[in-house]
Amino acid sequence: MAPIALVTGASSGIGAATARRLAEDGYEVVVAARRGIRCEQLAEEIGGRALRLDVTDERSVDALVEAVPRLDVLVNNAGAALGAESVEGADPEDWQRMYDLNVIGTLRVVQAMLPALRAEGGGTIVTVTSTAGSVAYEGGGGYCASKFGERALVDTLRLELSGHPVRVIDIAPGMVKTEGFALTRYRGDEAAAKRVYEGVDSPLTAEDVAECIGFACGLPLHVNVDRLVVRPLAQA
């Protein structure tokens, strides 16, 4: 039987590239996100399974338990930055939404899927945090606060699961040129989203990050890559 991987936020960007990478490695991949049609198209392309999932919706996450009863690799990738305002000018509701998505969404999925990982005798939990989970930047206060929080969740989980056969891996990318991330950050303003990448020569691609995830998951099960920071050479 093929090992099973669940990738959240797999309808675009890093999640889609990771789903493709893990399928190449022989996983049966469950492609999950809110945009069901995209998930179905990708699942068809890679011979996987599509699942409509909103990680901020308790019932949607609960449905995962039945849909994915056994699991070898969980990739917590769903996430977003909303807005680029200063701390002084930020809307607290945006911060709340980022916390709900990037921290509580990850928490819910981990809680829901731990029994399925244990059902296989153990497995791997990868979470795509960010370099924004350890270094703040101007205009990124709410996103950084949520990614610092997500990183704390991952570090705590690793401590609590030590001695159990579940690896907890933090993949922390710097700037990655993806379809949706900058556009969401600038609320659909395509020109502003484009400018983000002008400052950095050769940002990472989604495939670069997927390669790191594939590498960490491909190591023997007794090897835990705690945290892998990956950034473009040109990004300080």
Which C-beta is closer to ligand NDP: that of 27 or that of 181?
Answer: 181
Query: Who contacts 111 (Cβ-Cβ below 8 Å, separation ≥6)?
Result: none
Number of residues lying near ligand NDP (CB under 6 A):
31
Site for ligand NDP contains 77 (CB under 6 A):
yes
Distance in angstroms (rounded) separating the CA atoms of residues 78 and 233: 25
Site for ligand NDP contains 128 (CB under 6 A):
yes
- For ligand NDP, the binding residue among 12, 41, 134, 205 (CB under 6 A) is 12
Tell me the window of 40-48, 71-79, 162-170, 221-229 that interacts with ligand NDP (CB under 6 A).
71-79
Q: Is residue 25 helix, strand or coil?
A: coil
Which C-beta is closer to ligand NDP: that of 20 or that of 118?
Answer: 20
Q: Buried b / exposed e across 80-113, counting CB within 10 Å, b at 16+?
A: bbbbbeeeeebeeebbebbbebbbbbbbbbbebb
Smallest distance from ligand NDP to CB 68, Å: 14
Q: At what angle do helices 92-99 and 141-160 cross, to 10 degrees?
A: 30
Strands 204-205 and 176-177: parallel
Which C-beta is closer to ligand NDP: that of 12 or that of 224?
Answer: 12
Tell me the window of 7-15, 64-72, 83-91, 213-221 that interacts with ligand NDP (CB under 6 A).
7-15
| DSSP characters over 11-24 | TSHHHHHHHHHHHH
Q: Is residue 41 helix, strand or coil?
A: helix
For residue 143, indicate whether it is catalytic. yes
Site for ligand NDP contains 53 (CB under 6 A):
yes
Tell me the window of 4-12, 67-75, 117-125, 220-228 that interacts with ligand NDP (CB under 6 A).
4-12
- For ligand NDP, the binding residue among 33, 82, 116, 212 (CB under 6 A) is 33
Q: Tokens 């059902």: give the residue.
A: 119
DSSP state of 45: H
- Catalogue the active-site residues: 143
The residues binding ligand NDP (CB under 6 A) are 8-9, 11-15, 33-35, 53-56, 77-80, 101, 105, 128, 130, 173, 175-176, 178-181, 184, 206
